[in-house]
Amino acid sequence: MSTVLVTGGSGFIGSHCILQLLAAGHQVRTTVRSLKREGEVRAMLKAGGAEPGARLSFVAADLENNAGWPEAVAGCEYVLHVASPFPQNVPKHEDELIVPAREGALRVLRAARDAKVKRVVLTSSFAAIGYGQAPQKTPFNETSWTHLNGNDVLPYVKSKTLSERAAWDFIAREGGGLELSVVNPVGVFGPVLGPDYSTSILLVQRLMDGAMPGCPRLCFGVVDVRDVADLHIRAMTHPAAKGERFLAIAGDFMWILDIARVLKGRMGASAKRVPTTQLPNWLVRIAALRDPAVKQILPDLGKAKNATNEKAKTVLGWTPRSNEECIVATAESLVRLGLLKHSPAKAS
C-alpha cells in the first residue's frame, strides 16, 4: 500500500478521506495548521471507527507559508489536496479567500512535483463550474467553467475557480511528470465526526434548531461526504482519471424546502422545529440588510440549476448514496453527537 498525504486532515472532507484510506490499508500523513490539533483529529477518526496509531502521522503546514510542505510530501506516492478556506462569514476582502486558495494549491503542487509524487487529486467545487452563466435547462457537466464576471460570483466562488484554473495551468506549464485529477463537489452533507464540519452542514443544523423562520427559495446539489471521499480515492488510482475533473453530486439539485420535508418525514421528534414554509424572496432581501451572511445568498435566490454525475459513474464506477440518505445521515449524526441546541444527547 502507498503513503498518501491528505492536506487539511482536521476538515470534514479530509477526515473522511483519511478514514477510507486507512480502511484500504494505506499509510496516511496529514497536514494541520498546528500540531496541537492532532488529538482532535484522532478523536474524530475514532468517532468514525478508526484508531490508526502509527499508520497516521502529522505535519504542521499552512497554505500561506512554504514551511512544512517538503516534509509533508516526502515519500508520498499520492496527495489529496483537500484543504481550502471556506469561512462562515463574508471576508472583508476577496483576496482573504482567493490568495490562500490559489497560492496554497500551487505550493502543494510544486512540493509534490519536486518530491516525485505520482498524482495529486485536488478538491475543487461546483463553484468552479456552474456560476456566472445564463440560466440553462441542461445539467452542468465537467466541460463547464464559471464565468468570473457574472453577478452571482462571490469571493468563495472566485477562489475555487481561480485556484483550479491555476492548478491546471501549473500542470501544463511546469508540472513535469506530475499527474492531476480534480473532484468538484456540490454541497457536502453526511455524517459529521465532530464540531469541525463543512459550512453546508450548518443548513441542516439551523433547520433542526428552528433557527430559520422559513425556507429561502434556494436550490443546490447534495452529496454525501463518504461518497466524496470515495471519489477522491478512485480518482487517485484509476488510470483514466489522469487529467480529468469529476463532478460529485448524488442526484438532482434540491430546494431547501425539499430538504426540510425530508427532515420532517424521517427525523421524528428531533425535527419538530424544522420549518416547512417557503420564505418569500422580499423577506430574505430585508433580512440581508441586517445580516451580511444572508446577503451572500441573494444572487442565487429562485435560481434552479442542475448537474450530472454521469462521468464519475461511467469512468470511475462511482455509485453515490441518494439525496435523502445524505440529508438523513447528516441529521442523525448531529443528534448523535449532541450538536443541536435541543439535542436529546445534551439533555441526557
pLDDT at site 86: 61
Nearest to 208 by CA among 348, 318, 327, 61: 327
- Is position 292 within any domain? no
**Could you give the CA distance from residue 145 to residue 29 in angstroms, rounded to a whole number?**
32
What is the sign of the dihedral through the CA atoms of 263, 266, 268 and 270? negative
Catalytic site includes residue 160:
yes
Q: List the catalytic residue out of 46, 160, 295, 311.
A: 160
High-pLDDT (> 90) share of the chain, %? 85
pLDDT at site 347: 44
- Is position 337 within any domain? no
**Could you give the CA distance from residue 194 to residue 44 in angstroms, rounded to a whole number?**
6
pLDDT confidence bin for 198, thresholds 50/70/90: confident
Is there a contact between 151 and 299 (Cβ–Cβ < 8 Å)? yes
pLDDT at site 293: 75
- Is position 313 within any domain? yes
Rounded mean pLDDT of 326-331? 97
- Is position 345 within any domain? no
Rounded mean pLDDT of 4-28? 96
pLDDT confidence bin for 93, thresholds 50/70/90: confident
What is the sign of the dihedral through the CA atoms of 324, 329, 332 and 334? negative
Listed range (4-8, 145-149, 251-255, 284-288) with the worst mean pLDDT? 284-288
Average model confidence (pLDDT) for the chain?
A: 94
pLDDT at site 240: 98
Nearest to 241 by CA among 254, 228, 249, 232: 232
- Is position 301 within any domain? no
pLDDT at site 348: 42
What is the sign of the dihedral through the CA atoms of 27, 33, 36 and 37? negative
Rounded mean pLDDT of 313-334? 98
User: Using alpha carbons only, what angle is made at residue 256 by residues 187 and 98, rounded to the nearest 5 degrees?
Assistant: 35
> Cell 484500504 appears where?
24
**Could you give the CA distance from residue 127 to residue 85 in angstroms, rounded to a whole number?**
13
Instruction: Kindly state the helix (H) or strand (E) to which residue 6 belongs, with its residue range.
Output: strand 3-7
Between residues 233 and 347, the one the model is more confident about = 233
Rg of the chain (C-alpha set) = 20
Rounded mean pLDDT of 309-318? 98
pLDDT at 343 over 80: no
**Could you give the CA distance from residue 300 to residue 183 in angstroms, rounded to a whole number?**
23
- Is position 214 within any domain? no
Nearest to 226 by CA among 322, 334, 130: 322
Residues 41-63 have pLDDT tens digits of 999 999 999 999 999 999 999 99
**Could you give the CA distance from residue 122 to residue 108 in angstroms, rounded to a whole number?**
10
- Is position 7 within any domain? yes
- Is position 102 within any domain? yes
CATH number at residue 145: 3.40.50.720
pLDDT at site 297: 86
**Could you give the CA distance from residue 82 to residue 6 in angstroms, rounded to a whole number?**
7
High-pLDDT (> 70) share of the chain, %? 96
Provide the edge-to-edge strand list for the sheet that holds 179-185: 56-60, 27-32, 3-7, 78-81, 119-123, 179-185, 245-248
**Could you give the CA distance from residue 247 to residue 228 in angstroms, rounded to a whole number?**
10
**Could you give the CA distance from residue 201 to residue 334 in angstroms, rounded to a whole number?**
9
Listed range (3-12, 78-87, 236-245, 269-278) with the worst mean pLDDT? 78-87
Rounded mean pLDDT of 277-298? 89
Q: Which domain holds residue 227?
A: 3-191+222-250+307-320
- Look at the chain and report how many structural domains it folds into: 1
Rounded mean pLDDT of 6-17? 95
